[in-house]
Amino acid sequence: MKCRVCRGPAVIDVRRQNANYCPEHFLRMCRDQVAKAIDEFAMIRPGERVLMTVSGGKDSLMGWDVLRELGYEVDGFCISLGIGEYSAASTAAARAFADERGWPLEVVDLREEHGFDVPTAAHVTRRVPCSACGLSKRHLFDDAARRGGYDVVATGHNLDDEAAVLFGNVLRWDAEYLGRQLPVLPERNGFPRKVKPLVRLAERETAAYCVLRGIDYIVEECPMAEGNKHLGYKAALNAIEAESPGSKHVVYFHFLREASALFASRTAQEADALGACGRCGAPTTGDLCAFCRLQERTAGHEPVELKPRRKAPT
Ligand code: Q46
Ligand code: ZN
Ligand code: ZN
């Protein structure tokens, strides 16, 4: 196996590119793909300050590393979700990564600072944990960016994530979500732009990047992923990709080019209807935003013990 670029010994094959790479040229390919995504979708403008949301997993740590390598001014933000050992290990990995490099990282503890955690919110709302978790993350990312004066919030979503979300949205023909499923969401109502600079890289590549760069990331998956259909969609797409390398890239980027604009008007109507939350000022369609309502519902509730119901599909 020879490197596509230098013909030296290769350590990884990237089947959708029909190419093999040595460590140096694999790392360069990853950076180039991130730079290309940023350029193609106008994600970050020169001089803008970026807040990278980090979980301690491979994607977010890789994203932070690459953005800094590309010369952007990027700080980290991590939420301790209260999901038992998993949250403790995630936060520790994010902290260790930031400390080793001397890069600024803000850690917010959901229970200490907002009075609830993800298992308790899931119990109180009787919904899957990812529902309360996702809305809390979105709210706190926006809040951290506003407080810190950041122009852009970057997340570690990769090609596998985006293709799986697209697959799920199409299975339900969810027009509103399809209209919003973009690698860049523009700033609105004083909230920062949201960007996904890793959309041109597969999960296997973000993991390989971390190994080759000596980045210690948390390998364990969240134990509350039960009820999360996303993992099932990923497994289905992996089976397709194994037969036809490049399928994920084609379905996602062709969607962006050919179809996503067809759904945009639905999303625009939603955006017009937004007012400000009476408690925290976040954009919302009601009097209180979903995060503040969740906080009210969980107020004073004893912490609920973590109970994963079944193992997530791999
Ligand atoms: S952390 Fe939160 Fe994920 Fe765990 S509860 Fe679901 S959304 S699976 S990325
Ligand atoms: Zn090479
Ligand atoms: Zn609010």
Q: DSSP secondary structure string, 184-220?
A: EE--BTTBPEEE-TTTTS-HHHHHHHHHHHT-----P
Q: Residue 293 C-alpha to ligand 3 middle, in angstroms?
A: 7
Q: What is the pLDDT of residue 312?
A: 46
Q: Around ion ligand 3, which residues have CB less than 5 A away?
A: 277, 279-280, 282, 289, 292
In this structure, the residue with its CA closest to atom 7 of ligand 1 is 130
Q: Is the CB of 224 under 6 A from ligand 1?
A: yes
Is pLDDT above 90 for 158?
A: yes
What is the distance between the alpha carbons of residues 103 and 107, in angstroms, rounded to a whole number?
13
> Among residues of the chain, what percentage have pLDDT more than 70?
94
Q: What is the pLDDT of residue 269?
A: 57
Average pLDDT of 45-65?
97
Q: What is the pLDDT of residue 227?
A: 63
Q: Is the CB of 127 under 6 A from ligand 1?
A: no
Average pLDDT of 100-126?
96
Q: Please, which pLDDT band fits residue 75 given cuts at 50, 70 and 90?
A: very high
Q: Please, which pLDDT band fits residue 276 given cuts at 50, 70 and 90?
A: confident
132-156 residue pLDDT tens: 999 999 999 999 999 999 999 999 9
> Among residues of the chain, what percentage have pLDDT more than 90?
83
The DSSP bridge pattern shows strands 283-284 and 275-276 to be antiparallel
Q: Is the CB of 165 under 6 A from ligand 1?
A: no
Q: Write out the two tokens for 141.
A: 């990312």
Is pLDDT above 70 for 307?
A: no
Is pLDDT above 60 for 284?
A: yes
**In a mutational test of the pocket of ligand 1, which residue from 118, 139, 162 has the highest number of ligand atoms less than 8 Å from its CB?**
118
What is the distance between the alpha carbons of residues 257 and 106, in angstroms, rounded to a whole number?
36
Q: What is the pLDDT of residue 314?
A: 42
Q: What is the pLDDT of residue 289?
A: 93
Q: E strand or H helix at 101, and its extent? A: helix 84-101
Q: Please, which pLDDT band fits residue 272 given cuts at 50, 70 and 90?
A: low
